[in-house]
Structure 1
Amino acid sequence: MALRDCALIDLMYSTGSRISEVLDLKVGDLDSSDESLMVRVSGKGNKQRVVPVGSFAREAVDSYLVRLRPQLLKNRRSDYLFLNSRGTRLSRQSAWQIISDVAKNLRIEGVSPHSLRHSFATHLLDGGADIRVVQELLGHSSVTTTQIYTLVTIDRIRESYSAAHPRAQ
């Protein structure tokens, strides 16, 4: 199941999707035209958005689709991307447990499905992404909601101060 678990976590972090959005994904929601992978996400209020998938997540998802998912189906049919050992849709509780177990094994505290979404947004914003782009990727109808993710770290404060203030040296 490590292939599935890695694909699940990588896809959640790579797309910033809510846990319910990732678990509701169908194989047909993946679009690998050209050399990139895009995923069609159905968010709150059935709002649709298309989000790019990074290379690490793409490799993890591709590996899961080829090497494990066919075994999980066991001659059943399911359009859902993420399946449990019985070949049916992975539950929210199981996904939570997967993330919790991986975090525990890595000795990382405070990890949840939402913290992956939060990290996605924070890392994009810290990397200079426009807040309106992040808003669109997260599926927020208001930029005010996205601004919650703009919490500034103390390191970023020090770095900005040192770089910009004439008497910081």
Structure 2
Amino acid sequence: MQTVKYFTQDELASLFKAIKKKKSKYWLRDYCIFRVAYRCALRASEVGLLTVAEYNAQRSELYCNRLKNSQNNTIRLDDETKKALEKYIRDYGIDDCLFPSQVSKPISRQTLDLLMRKYCKVAKISDKKKWHFHSLKHSVAVHLADSGLDVKELQHYLGHKNVNSTLVYFQFTTRQQDNMYKKLEQRNYLV
């Protein structure tokens, strides 16, 4: 069985709260990065590829360029992420690369991992194995699998070409198992 490190819903809420609470010079950028990465199930290297032109404010959608032989897709943002992202774009005067570094280049994977460690400390998330930016992608995958999405829906959301890459997330969900046993009990297949 493959081990996937992901944040619980409570840990994720603590992480977002920690970013907002920190109020550093770049807190709004960091908050948007983490919200967008989680909502869109982005890898750290994909965050740096995002541009303002790929954000459709009218439809609250973000076109996501996927790496690692994954399929590009468009993800609809929730109201909190949309509101924060639009404030960030307006307040920071962002017009090209959505998340530039302090030297006006796309933010790097290494910087995102540093930010994750910083905010996990503030949020008091004790499991240091989760202190990697990729934990956000794992987290949304597990949370969506647990929400009742089927494997094909989750495959599309994550941009996976191979369904086997998606199936790994269903081993962490109890909702799927509960539904299966409920169906079996209703049909009297288990005596």
For the aligned pair, the TM-score class normalised by the smaller chain equals: 0.7 to 0.9
User: Is 1:2 aligned to 2:19, yes or no?
Assistant: no
- Equivalent in 171, 178, 183 of residue 160 of structure 1: 178
Paired position in structure 1 for 2:136:
116
Over 3 Å counting, the alpha-carbon distance change for 1:42 and 1:93 in structure 2 is: same
- 2:123 maps to a residue whose letter is L
SS across alignment from 1:51:
strand
1:103 alignment partner in structure 2? 120
Partner Cα distance (2:170, 2:90) in 1: 38
Residues 25-40 of structure 1: pairs in structure 2 closer than 5 A: 25-33=50-58, 36-40=59-63
In the alignment, residue 27 of structure 1 is paired with which amino acid?
V
- Which residue does the alignment assign to 2:65? 42
State the AA in 2 paired with 1:42. N
User: Is the CA contact 2:100–2:107 (under 8 Å) kept in the aligned structure 1?
Assistant: yes
Aligned partner (choices 72, 79, 83) of residue 59 of structure 1? 83
2:102 matched to which residue of 1? 85
> What are the Cα deviations for residues 19-62 of structure 1, in whole angstroms up to 9, with x where unaligned?
111211011011122xx411111112474211111222212211
Runs of 4+ in 1 over 3 A off after TM superposition: 163-166
Structure 1 position 150, deviation (Å): 1.2
Q: What TM-score, normalized to structure 2? A: 0.71
State the shift of 1:13 in Å.
0.7
Counterpart amino acid of 2:40?
T
Q: 2:38 aligns with which of 2, 6, 13?
A: 13
Alpha carbons of structure 1 residues 152 and 93: separation in structure 2 relative to 1, 3 Å: closer
Provide the residue aligned with 1:127 in structure 2.
147
Q: Specify the SS of the correspondent of 2:39.
A: helix
Q: What is the TM-score normalised by the length of structure 1?
A: 0.80
- Give CA-to-partner distance per residue, 1:38-93, whole Å, 9 cap, x none: 111111247421111122221221121112x22xx7xxxx6210022233321221
Measured in 1, the distance between the counterparts of 2:165 and 2:70 equals 18
Structure 1 range deviating more: 102-111 or 7-16: 102-111
| Structure 1 residue matching 2:168: 3-state secondary structure | helix
Count of aligned residue pairs for this structure pair: 153
